[in-house]
Structure formats: C-alpha cells, structure tokens
Amino acid sequence: MTAEIIIAPSILAADFARLGEEVAAIDAAGADWIHCDVMDGHFVPNISYGADVIKAIRPLTKRVFDVHLMIAPTDPHLEAFAKAGADVITVHAEAGPHLDRSLQAIRALGKKAGVSLCPATPEAAIEYVLDRLDLVLVMTVNPGFGGQSFLDSQVEKIRRIRSMIGDRPIRLEVDGGITRDNAAAVAAAGADTLVAGSAVFRGKSAADYAANIAAIRVAAESGRVVKFQDNSARAMRTAESALIR
C-alpha cells in the first residue's frame, strides 16, 4: 500500500517568541501536519513545552496535531494532551513497561495511537502491538534536540518495519535530521510521513518555509518505491481509507 506523503514540520525549530505566527506560517506554507515535540528533561535530556502550549496554538490551524511525547511516565498525562487537541499521540516504547496499555489508553481517549522507537531499539519491540497502532515513528536521531545529524543506521529499520506493517492502515513516520537530501532514501525504504524541524524553519518568511516543505516533499516522492504487498485492490482501498490524513 502506498499512501500520500505527509510533511510534518516540528515546531521545536520555530521562534518560540512568535509561536502563533510560526504555526500560521507553516500552515500557509503547505504543512500537512503540525509535529509537537514534548520533552520532560527526564526521558530525554531537554525540556520543551507541554499541553498548555499545545492548547494555546490549537485554534490557529485545522491541520492534524501530531504529538510526540518524549516523557516518562506517559500514562498519567495522556488525557491532558487529548484535551489539548492532539489528533495523534505517540509514546516511546522505551518510556514505560506497559506499551500495550498506553496504546489502549490513547485509543480509549478517541485519538490515533503511535509508538516511537529510539535508534537503538529494535523493531521487534512493536511486533505484538501492531494491531493497536495507527502510526510508527522511527527516530533517525537520538531524541532530545533538534538540528542533529540523520543516522543512516535507521534506514534498514524503516525497511523492516514497512514489511512488518504489511497492508495495515499504519503510517510510518521518520523524525530527526530529515532534509531534502535524505528524504528520498527514507521514502524509498517505506516512510510515508516525514517530520522536519530545522530543514523547514530555515529562512525567515512563509515563502521560505513553503519552498523548504516543497523541496522535502518532491524529494520524498521521487524516492518512493511502489510495492503492493496485497494483490487485492479492494483490500488496499479499505486500508488506505483508514489512514490518518
């Protein structure tokens, strides 16, 4: 199954003094989703922002809010992020002992459920929760900071997870060091949802942001390999219609 490419700028790279304007600017620039990186200074070595900030910017755009929780524990905070307006809530497989329970809790809140894997975590960590997932996020840097360099070691993991997903309606997202130069490689490996912070917020104006988003999208589309893992066109259409858009 191939789904349309989604570009999700991370507002971690925005000018926080003008956060509302920055969200409006990436919306106008063609961002498909808004990626929100929540860091707690415990699970990752940096602190970013929490549910109140997400709630404040939620009215500024209709785009999907893709909330990436780099916090531990996660379960006590899921409801706050759901109420703040998250559409997709992604937890880290490494953040707690009960991933299956966390994923059930996210869906019980009426939200799409994602799981993220740090670079050192093997894909086997999600083998038994695949049917509870709407999204898998492969970290292509160690989580905690924007502006780091892409880890080539993760391309093979993307390929393996694409194969594990099969025809399930699960988005495969990559996050960390994504640029117009590596977007083709991750898309060729099977990623359909690309987060980018520094590579989108480079420049100053909405016009710069639009050019940056377009360049990443064009590169990703050029790298796509269409692989049909299920010969039934009807099954593919059904699965596609269930994907987050």
Catalytic site includes residue 192: no
Q: Indicate whether 178 belongs to the interface with ligand DX5 (CB under 6 A).
A: yes
Q: Indicate whether 9 belongs to the interface with ligand DX5 (CB under 6 A).
A: no
Q: In the complex, what is the shortest distance from the CB of residue 237 to ligand DX5, in angstroms, rounded to a whole number? A: 31
Question: What are the Cα distances from residue 146, in Å, to 209, 218, 236?
Answer: 17, 22, 35
Q: Is residue 212 within 8 Å of residue 205, measured between CB atoms?
A: no
Closest listed residue to residue 156, CA positions, set 168, 174, 171: 174
Among 14, 23, 99, 195, binds ligand DX5 (CB under 6 A): 195
Q: Backbone phi, then psi, for 26, in 5-degree steps?
A: -75, -30
Catalytic site includes residue 208: no
Q: How many CB atoms lie within 10 A of CB 229?
A: 11
H or E segment to which residue 224 belongs: none
Q: Which is nearer to ligand DX5, 38 or 239 (CB)?
A: 38
Q: How many residues bind ligand DX5 (CB under 6 A)?
A: 22
Q: Backbone phi, then psi, for 34, in 5-degree steps?
A: -110, 115
Q: Which is nearer to Zn ion, 1 or 137 (CB)?
A: 137
The whole-angstrom separation of Cα 123 and Cα 127 is: 7
Q: Indicate whether 50 belongs to the interface with ligand DX5 (CB under 6 A).
A: no
Q: Choose the stretch contacting ligand DX5; rule: CB under 6 A; options: 26-34, 76-84, 118-126, 173-181.
A: 173-181
Picked from Zn ion, ligand DX5, none, the partner binding residue 88 (CB below 5 to 8 A depending on kind) is: none
The contact set with ligand DX5 (CB under 6 A) reads 10, 12-13, 35, 37, 68, 70, 141, 143-144, 146-148, 175-178, 195-199
